[in-house]
Structure 1
Amino acid sequence: MDHAVDDPAGELAALRNEVHQLRRETMQLRSAMKTRPVVDIARGVVMERYHCSAPGAWKVLVQVSQHANLKLHIVARALAADAGGVRLSRTLHGHLTAAASRVGAGTPDRDDRSGRR
Protein backbone atom coordinates (compact mmCIF):
# COMPACT_ATOMS: atom_id res chain seq x y z
CA MET A 1 0.00 0.00 0.00
CA ASP A 2 1.45 3.32 -1.09
CA HIS A 3 1.35 6.18 1.48
CA ALA A 4 2.33 8.94 -0.92
CA VAL A 5 1.19 12.43 -0.01
CA ASP A 6 -1.65 13.62 -2.26
CA ASP A 7 -0.51 17.26 -2.15
CA PRO A 8 3.23 17.49 -1.43
CA ALA A 9 3.33 21.27 -2.06
CA GLY A 10 0.44 21.82 0.37
CA GLU A 11 2.04 19.57 2.96
CA LEU A 12 5.34 21.44 2.64
CA ALA A 13 3.59 24.80 3.01
CA ALA A 14 1.76 23.56 6.11
CA LEU A 15 5.02 22.32 7.65
CA ARG A 16 6.77 25.64 6.91
CA ASN A 17 3.89 27.52 8.53
CA GLU A 18 4.06 25.29 11.60
CA VAL A 19 7.82 25.78 11.92
CA HIS A 20 7.35 29.56 11.60
CA GLN A 21 4.69 29.54 14.34
CA LEU A 22 6.85 27.42 16.64
CA ARG A 23 9.84 29.72 16.15
CA ARG A 24 7.71 32.78 16.94
CA GLU A 25 6.31 31.09 20.05
CA THR A 26 9.82 30.14 21.18
CA MET A 27 11.01 33.74 20.79
CA GLN A 28 8.01 35.00 22.78
CA LEU A 29 8.65 32.51 25.56
CA ARG A 30 12.33 33.44 25.74
CA SER A 31 11.41 37.11 25.95
CA ALA A 32 8.87 36.39 28.70
CA MET A 33 11.47 34.45 30.67
CA LYS A 34 13.86 37.42 30.52
CA THR A 35 11.28 39.96 31.70
CA ARG A 36 9.50 37.79 34.27
CA PRO A 37 11.69 38.73 37.28
CA VAL A 38 11.13 42.48 36.89
CA VAL A 39 7.39 41.92 36.35
CA ASP A 40 7.26 39.91 39.58
CA ILE A 41 9.07 42.71 41.43
CA ALA A 42 6.63 45.29 40.04
CA ARG A 43 3.68 43.12 41.06
CA GLY A 44 5.09 43.01 44.58
CA VAL A 45 5.48 46.80 44.60
CA VAL A 46 1.84 47.23 43.56
CA MET A 47 0.69 44.68 46.15
CA GLU A 48 2.57 46.48 48.92
CA ARG A 49 1.57 50.01 47.95
CA TYR A 50 -2.06 49.36 47.12
CA HIS A 51 -2.75 46.51 49.53
CA CYS A 52 -4.04 44.15 46.88
CA SER A 53 -3.68 40.50 45.93
CA ALA A 54 -1.30 39.15 43.31
CA PRO A 55 -4.13 38.82 40.74
CA GLY A 56 -5.24 42.38 41.55
CA ALA A 57 -1.70 43.68 41.10
CA TRP A 58 -1.47 41.86 37.78
CA LYS A 59 -4.68 43.56 36.62
CA VAL A 60 -3.26 46.93 37.66
CA LEU A 61 -0.05 46.34 35.68
CA VAL A 62 -1.95 45.21 32.60
CA GLN A 63 -4.24 48.24 32.73
CA VAL A 64 -1.34 50.65 33.20
CA SER A 65 0.40 49.03 30.24
CA GLN A 66 -2.68 49.34 28.06
CA HIS A 67 -3.64 52.88 29.06
CA ALA A 68 -0.06 54.19 28.88
CA ASN A 69 0.47 52.33 25.59
CA LEU A 70 3.67 50.76 26.92
CA LYS A 71 4.79 47.16 26.99
CA LEU A 72 4.20 45.59 30.37
CA HIS A 73 7.88 44.96 31.01
CA ILE A 74 8.60 48.68 30.46
CA VAL A 75 5.98 49.60 33.08
CA ALA A 76 7.44 46.95 35.38
CA ARG A 77 10.97 48.34 35.01
CA ALA A 78 9.74 51.84 35.84
CA LEU A 79 7.95 50.59 38.98
CA ALA A 80 10.96 48.56 40.09
CA ALA A 81 13.18 51.61 39.58
CA ASP A 82 10.69 53.75 41.52
CA ALA A 83 10.90 51.30 44.41
CA GLY A 84 14.67 51.77 44.25
CA GLY A 85 14.42 55.55 44.47
CA VAL A 86 14.06 56.68 40.85
CA ARG A 87 10.91 58.77 40.55
CA LEU A 88 8.03 57.49 38.49
CA SER A 89 6.87 59.96 35.83
CA ARG A 90 3.69 61.93 36.62
CA THR A 91 1.95 60.33 33.68
CA LEU A 92 2.81 56.80 34.70
CA HIS A 93 1.94 57.57 38.32
CA GLY A 94 -1.46 58.83 37.16
CA HIS A 95 -2.07 55.67 35.16
CA LEU A 96 -1.03 53.56 38.15
CA THR A 97 -3.36 55.36 40.55
CA ALA A 98 -6.27 55.21 38.11
CA ALA A 99 -5.73 51.51 37.38
CA ALA A 100 -5.53 50.67 41.08
CA SER A 101 -8.81 52.50 41.62
CA ARG A 102 -10.49 50.72 38.70
CA VAL A 103 -9.56 47.25 39.92
CA GLY A 104 -10.58 48.04 43.48
CA ALA A 105 -7.11 48.07 44.97
CA GLY A 106 -6.59 50.25 48.01
CA THR A 107 -4.88 53.60 48.04
CA PRO A 108 -1.43 54.01 49.49
CA ASP A 109 -1.57 54.84 53.19
CA ARG A 110 1.76 56.64 52.93
CA ASP A 111 3.57 58.67 50.31
CA ASP A 112 5.20 56.37 47.83
CA ARG A 113 8.75 56.94 46.60
CA SER A 114 7.50 59.11 43.75
CA GLY A 115 6.55 61.75 46.31
CA ARG A 116 2.94 61.86 45.20
CA ARG A 117 -0.20 60.30 46.62
Structure 2
Amino acid sequence: MIQLSGFSVRDTSNPCGEIAIEFSGLRPGEKLFEELLISADDSPTDHPLISQAREGFIAADQLDVLMASLLKAIDARDVEKVLDVLVRIVPEYKSNVRPISLSSPMDGDELGPSAA
Protein backbone atom coordinates (compact mmCIF):
# COMPACT_ATOMS: atom_id res chain seq x y z
CA MET A 1 0.00 0.00 0.00
CA ILE A 2 2.90 2.30 0.71
CA GLN A 3 4.34 1.75 -2.76
CA LEU A 4 0.91 1.98 -4.40
CA SER A 5 0.58 5.43 -2.81
CA GLY A 6 3.83 6.55 -4.41
CA PHE A 7 5.96 6.34 -1.29
CA SER A 8 8.76 4.05 -0.21
CA VAL A 9 9.39 2.13 2.98
CA ARG A 10 12.07 3.44 5.33
CA ASP A 11 14.15 0.57 6.71
CA THR A 12 17.80 -0.44 7.09
CA SER A 13 18.17 -1.04 3.36
CA ASN A 14 16.45 2.27 2.49
CA PRO A 15 17.09 4.90 5.20
CA CYS A 16 15.73 7.68 2.95
CA GLY A 17 12.25 6.12 2.60
CA GLU A 18 9.23 8.24 3.48
CA ILE A 19 7.32 5.80 5.71
CA ALA A 20 8.79 3.62 8.45
CA ILE A 21 6.96 0.48 9.55
CA GLU A 22 6.98 -0.15 13.28
CA PHE A 23 5.63 -3.36 14.77
CA SER A 24 3.80 -2.46 17.96
CA GLY A 25 2.16 -5.79 18.72
CA LEU A 26 -1.52 -6.39 19.31
CA ARG A 27 -3.66 -3.56 20.60
CA PRO A 28 -6.48 -4.15 23.08
CA GLY A 29 -9.34 -5.90 21.30
CA GLU A 30 -7.28 -7.00 18.28
CA LYS A 31 -6.98 -10.66 17.38
CA LEU A 32 -3.89 -12.40 16.09
CA PHE A 33 -6.10 -14.64 13.91
CA GLU A 34 -9.78 -15.01 13.08
CA GLU A 35 -11.89 -18.05 13.76
CA LEU A 36 -14.07 -18.48 10.71
CA LEU A 37 -15.76 -21.79 11.43
CA ILE A 38 -19.42 -21.80 12.39
CA SER A 39 -19.15 -25.14 14.14
CA ALA A 40 -16.22 -26.87 15.76
CA ASP A 41 -16.33 -29.61 13.12
CA ASP A 42 -13.02 -29.41 11.32
CA SER A 43 -10.23 -31.75 10.32
CA PRO A 44 -6.47 -31.20 10.10
CA THR A 45 -4.55 -30.75 6.86
CA ASP A 46 -0.88 -31.27 6.02
CA HIS A 47 -0.15 -27.78 7.38
CA PRO A 48 -0.27 -27.59 11.19
CA LEU A 49 -1.99 -24.16 11.24
CA ILE A 50 -4.61 -24.90 8.58
CA SER A 51 -7.80 -26.87 9.20
CA GLN A 52 -10.47 -27.96 6.76
CA ALA A 53 -14.04 -27.01 7.63
CA ARG A 54 -16.77 -29.60 7.46
CA GLU A 55 -19.83 -27.36 7.21
CA GLY A 56 -23.14 -28.45 5.80
CA PHE A 57 -24.61 -26.78 2.74
CA ILE A 58 -27.79 -26.77 0.72
CA ALA A 59 -27.58 -27.66 -2.96
CA ALA A 60 -28.62 -24.83 -5.29
CA ASP A 61 -31.74 -26.59 -6.61
CA GLN A 62 -32.90 -27.40 -3.08
CA LEU A 63 -32.20 -23.81 -1.99
CA ASP A 64 -34.33 -22.55 -4.89
CA VAL A 65 -37.23 -24.69 -3.67
CA LEU A 66 -36.79 -23.52 -0.07
CA MET A 67 -36.58 -19.86 -1.10
CA ALA A 68 -39.77 -20.24 -3.17
CA SER A 69 -41.46 -21.80 -0.11
CA LEU A 70 -40.22 -18.94 2.04
CA LEU A 71 -41.54 -16.29 -0.36
CA LYS A 72 -44.88 -18.11 -0.61
CA ALA A 73 -45.16 -18.24 3.20
CA ILE A 74 -44.30 -14.54 3.43
CA ASP A 75 -46.91 -13.64 0.80
CA ALA A 76 -49.48 -15.74 2.69
CA ARG A 77 -48.44 -14.07 5.97
CA ASP A 78 -48.00 -17.55 7.46
CA VAL A 79 -45.56 -16.85 10.29
CA GLU A 80 -45.34 -20.47 11.43
CA LYS A 81 -44.45 -21.60 7.90
CA VAL A 82 -41.88 -18.78 7.56
CA LEU A 83 -40.17 -19.93 10.76
CA ASP A 84 -40.34 -23.57 9.65
CA VAL A 85 -38.67 -22.79 6.31
CA LEU A 86 -36.04 -20.59 8.00
CA VAL A 87 -35.07 -23.50 10.26
CA ARG A 88 -34.80 -25.75 7.20
CA ILE A 89 -32.52 -23.21 5.48
CA VAL A 90 -30.48 -22.38 8.59
CA PRO A 91 -30.64 -25.34 11.03
CA GLU A 92 -28.89 -23.30 13.74
CA TYR A 93 -31.65 -20.64 13.64
CA LYS A 94 -33.44 -20.31 16.97
CA SER A 95 -36.33 -17.88 17.17
CA ASN A 96 -36.57 -16.06 20.47
CA VAL A 97 -39.73 -14.18 19.57
CA ARG A 98 -43.30 -15.32 19.85
CA PRO A 99 -44.89 -15.38 16.39
CA ILE A 100 -47.73 -12.93 15.90
CA SER A 101 -50.59 -13.24 13.48
CA LEU A 102 -50.09 -11.16 10.36
CA SER A 103 -53.48 -12.05 8.88
CA SER A 104 -55.25 -9.08 10.46
CA PRO A 105 -54.05 -5.54 11.19
CA MET A 106 -52.84 -4.88 14.71
CA ASP A 107 -54.88 -2.74 17.09
CA GLY A 108 -53.59 0.74 17.66
CA ASP A 109 -52.91 -0.08 21.33
CA GLU A 110 -50.35 -2.72 20.31
CA LEU A 111 -48.29 -0.14 18.45
CA GLY A 112 -47.45 1.80 21.60
CA PRO A 113 -47.79 5.54 22.19
CA SER A 114 -48.63 7.68 19.20
CA ALA A 115 -45.85 9.81 17.73
CA ALA A 116 -48.29 12.70 17.21
Same fold (TM > 0.5): no
TM-score by length of 2: 0.29
TM-score by length of 1: 0.29
Which structure is larger by alpha-carbon Rg, 1 or 2? 2
Of the two structures, which has the highest relative contact order with CA contacts closer than 8 Å and spacing of 6 or more?
Answer: 1
